[in-house]
Every structure is written in structure tokens, then in C-alpha cells.
Amino acid sequence: MNSITILFFAKEEPNCRFVPIYPDAFKPVKIPFQKGPAQKFFQPMGTGFDLGFFELDDLSKPSPSEDVFPLVISAETCSPSQSNDERIGEPQPDNSHMQITQAVLEKKNGNPFQVKVIRQLLWIDGMRYELREIFGIGSSSSEGFDNNDSGKECVICMTEPKDTAVLPCRHMCMCSECAKELKLQSNKCPICRQPIEELIEIKINNSNQ
């Protein structure tokens, strides 16, 4: 069974379970969803909430004390063996996989509200993973490497394509050889100068492979 669950003003509890802090006023909406790529999801009419009840600050940022997000969207797939009366957002460790998107609602210069994604989580086989952006991966060697194409080369040697990211700052800016040498010498990211705790080499196949 596949489903999309929409929660308003929800906080995370153990085992990647999300619960609304106003359960009586804003009940979660769980909608069955067909599996397969290239689908568009439309929330049914009448299943949202009235934004006029809240101050803009309450909608545009998570609550700092409880890490409550105004909008949480959970895409879940689980085996048919699971019962239909389980609590929304409470996965079973062995047979439920989820992708959770935590977002805020922003309104600028009188324009309509826009959804801004703050965090994305994966719950797979009882493990919680947080998705993070790799800075510089968009200009990496994924589109093919050309010495005349600035932005794709290692910032140290300026000749090899960059394929190594620095953790925890997540700057992808060096080739693997230069990254190894730099870690031994200065141990600082060449972009932001934060200490290097770990290196992660990322190989991306281009469209021809």
C-alpha cells in the first residue's frame, strides 16, 4: 500500500513518527497513492487549513523549542501485511519505507504563500537518514568534463574534475588525489576553512553511461 500523509504543525517522535500538536483542530490527511514514476499529487479540496488563524512568523519558520514544522508531507510504502488501523506516521521497522518532507510557508511582498522545504528524511528498514545538499555537485563532472569549462575542475590542481566532498561542510570542490593530500597537510576545507572530518568520493555517471 502506498500513501501520502499531510500533517499540519507536526513534531517528530521516536522511530521517525510525526504527530500534530493540534490534533483536534488540524487532523492529518492520509490519501492512498498509486505507485510508479512521473505522477502528480493533488491534495483533495477541503483538506487544508486556514492560514488566517496564524501569524506569519508561526508559518515561516519551525518552532525552535519543539522543532515543529507547519507542514510535513510523508510519502509511505508498506507491505499489505500491515493493518489499516495503525497510527498515521508510525512505520513498522521491517516493512515500511518513508520519505518525509518538512517545510514552512513563506509570503513575500503580498505574493501568494510558497512552500519552502527545510529538511528531508528517509526511513528505510528501521533506520533514519537525513538528506543533505552537496554544495558544488551541480557543476561537477556529471555533464562531462572539459578543461575549458570553469567550475568543474578541482580548486587545488585546476586540471582534474572535482569528485570529492568534504564533511561536515559538504563542499564538493576537489579531486580525490588533492583531497587526500590536503587532509594530510592542512586538514581544512579550501572553500570555507572548516576542519575536515571526513572525505566522501562521489562518482557520477554521465548521460551516455
Using omega within 30 degrees of 0 as the cis cutoff, is the peptide bond preceding 80 cis? no
Residue 91 confidence (pLDDT): 45
Out of 8-17, 96-105, 126-135, 169-178, least confident range: 126-135
Q: In this model, does residue 164 exceed pLDDT 70? A: yes
- Matching CATH number, 137-201, of 3.40.630.10, 3.90.1150.10, 3.40.395.10, 3.30.40.10: 3.30.40.10
pLDDT in tens, 25-52: 888 888 888 877 787 888 778 777 777 7
Q: In this model, does residue 168 exceed pLDDT 70? A: yes
Between residues 207 and 12, the one the model is more confident about:
12
**Mean pLDDT: which of 39-48, 134-143, 148-157, 161-170 is highest?**
161-170
Single pTM value for the model: 0.65
* Domain extents in the chain: 2-131, 137-201
Q: In this model, does residue 208 exceed pLDDT 50? A: no
Residue 101 confidence (pLDDT): 93
Instruction: Give, in degrees to the nearest 5, the angle at Cα 163 between 158 and 168.
Output: 105
Cell 528501521 belongs to 126
